[in-house]
Structures are given as C-alpha cells and as structure tokens.
Structure 1
Amino acid sequence: MADFTIRPAVVSDGSFLADMVVEAANWRAGATRPRPSVLSDPVYRNYIAGWQRPADRGFVAVDAQGRPIGAAWYRLLASDVAAHGFVAAGVPELIIGVRPVWRAQGVGRALIQALADVARAAGYARLALSVEHGNHAESLYRSEGFSVVASRGNRDTMVRLLS
C-alpha cells in the first residue's frame, strides 16, 4: 500500500478541494477540461463554494511529505441547487478527487471510509454520489456499498446506506 495519511479537511483546504473537483471532472485519461471551465460550471461550483459550511465534512489524503494528494467531502444541498448526485434533502452528497498518480492505490477507499464513518456518527442514514458512465471508480463505489438508484444522461446516482 502507498504511503499516505488522512486528516480532516479544514477551511484553508478550499483551494485544494477545487483542484480535486477539477480532477474529478477530468477522470478520463487525456481529459482536458481546464480549471476555469470546470469551476465556472454551476454544479461543480456548488460543491466548493463557501467551503466550509457548518454541515460540510471532509478529509484530505497527504503523502509522506505532507503534500495533499486527494480529498473527499460531503455537502448538504437543497433540491433547488444544481448537483449531479442529489437524492433528497438531508442526504449528503459525497465528492471525491484523487491526483492521477495516486489512483488505484487505496487513497479513494480510505477517504470514502473515513467520510462514511463521520457521516454515520453525525446521524446520516445515507450518502449519495454521482459517477459518469465508464468511470473505473464505480467499482470502488460498489465495493464500498454504493448502489445505483437513478441514471440521468451519462451519469448514475449511487447511494450507500450507513446504518
């Protein structure tokens, strides 16, 4: 297993979370959606705008030198706020991004597990996320207990029960 640790995300991690939103949007090899294009998209912007609101929780993975390599966080979004994986009010939506060289090394799994534990402890019954068709991360999500509850366009919305 790769050498990394997980720490809670803090207010000053907002810029790195934006980096991870860009990574998530560019998950395909060779994808080149520029940062300004991704961050001007209302859905992606909603995942990071105003970080860290009272209900926001997240974790950052850092390498042995303390450099951030990935992050997962959740937000509570209202039904009238643009989001890819919204299922219901009161169900946090998980967002995750990992630097390409760190993918498939356990970083995403560790981040998801830490976030699920925090969400469960906070009293949430479910976590939701969205994944584009063809994204290899879908197998990770399934292995962590997420299942598809809806499909829209080229995306699936997945939910994990936490109880």
Structure 2
Amino acid sequence: MDSGFALRRAAQTDAMFLGDMLVEAASWRAGGVRPRHEVLNSADHRRYLAGWKRMADDGLVATGAHEVPVGAAWYRVLPQNAPGFGFVGVAVPELIIGVHPLWRARGVGRALLRGVIELAGTQGHARISLSVERDNFARNLYRAEGFALVAEGESRETMARRTR
C-alpha cells in the first residue's frame, strides 16, 4: 500500500522548511498557532535551527506528491552551557520533529521518528532525547517508540531512548 510520502536526508537547503516545521512543533495545539517570526526569533527555539546544517546536525524530510516537503525530524547536539528543552547530556542529540497539519495521523511522524533514531545510531550517537509538553498527543507516540521519561518540568517532559 502506498503511504503517499517518502523520506529523504535533510540538506542545508532545507533550512527554511525546517523553520516551518519548528513553528509547527511549537504551535501543535489546535488554535495555538504562533507567528513564525515569534517562534524563530525566540532564543528557546532559534537554537534548533541557527546555522543549520552544522557538522553534528542531521535529519530527514518527508515529502508528498511532487516531492513537496510535508514533515521533518532532525537533531542537534547542543552545548551544556546553551541547552535546549530536551538536554540530557553532552553529546546526546536533541530531536525536533514537525509535520504539516494536513499530514498528521497518516504515519509521517512515526516514520520520521523511526528514521531519525536509526540515522542518529548510524552516526555514532548511543542516545537521542526530546522534550514534549505534557498534554501533547505526540507524547504517546514517543512512549510507543521506546522513549522513557528522564526529567519532568512544570509543563514539559524530557524523554530519551537508546538508538540501538
């Protein structure tokens, strides 16, 4: 059965689309859309994209018909003195994932998640981490794919899993 999408490796030229997916990830609540400039100019979010694609950065892009991007999952290794929401340790990449709303609940997020975990493993990373707001439905996907709770904040959870 054709899933209607394919995965490819993220390139430096995907930076603008990754920005779109970062906005989707930050605006996951129904009716909670945040302006692109607000998300991308926020220090909390900018760290996941600024200077893409650095040596330790990698990821995947899901494409639909005519190779139009519909989702992305990527990771960055962030320093201890400038951690992201999902920081668990030095050299553990933090995962960011976003899927266009029209492509949600169609297997795109799960395929991206599985693919980027495998990619991180092939790049020598033993673990990968992420942060998810406690009421985000994606939390169930992460748990189903082997992510375990590492730390709890007021409204977010940090989760991690082994890549192999």
TM tier, shorter chain?
over 0.9
Question: Does residue 114 in structure 1 map to residue 115 in structure 2?
Answer: yes
Alignment partner, residue 13 of structure 2: 12
Where do residues 29-40 of structure 1 align in structure 2 (5 Å cutoff)?
29-40=30-41
5+ residue gaps, structure 2? none
Q: Kindly report structure 1 stretches of 4+ aligned residues shifted beyond 4 Å.
A: none
Inter-partner Cα distance in structure 2 for 1:26 and 1:19:
10
SS in 1 for 2:129: strand
Amino acid in the other structure paired with 1:24: A
| Contact persistence 1:94–1:128 (CA under 8 A) | yes
Counterpart code for 2:36: R
Deviation at 1:82, TM superposition (A): 4.0
2:79 is the counterpart of 1:78: yes
Partner of 2:150: 149
CA RMSD, 1 decimal: 1.0
Q: Kindly tell me the number of residue pairs found equivalent between the two proteins.
A: 163
Distance 1:76 1:101 in 2: 30
Q: Distance in 2 between matches of 1:117 and 1:131?
A: 20
Cα distance in 1 between the residues matched to 2:138 and 2:110: 10
Normalised TM-score (structure 2): 0.96
Other-structure match for 1:24: 25
Q: AA paired with 2:161? A: R
1:78–1:89 CA contact under 8 A, matched in 2: yes
SS at match of 2:31: coil
- SS of 2:66's equivalent in the other structure is coil
- SS of 2:110's equivalent? helix
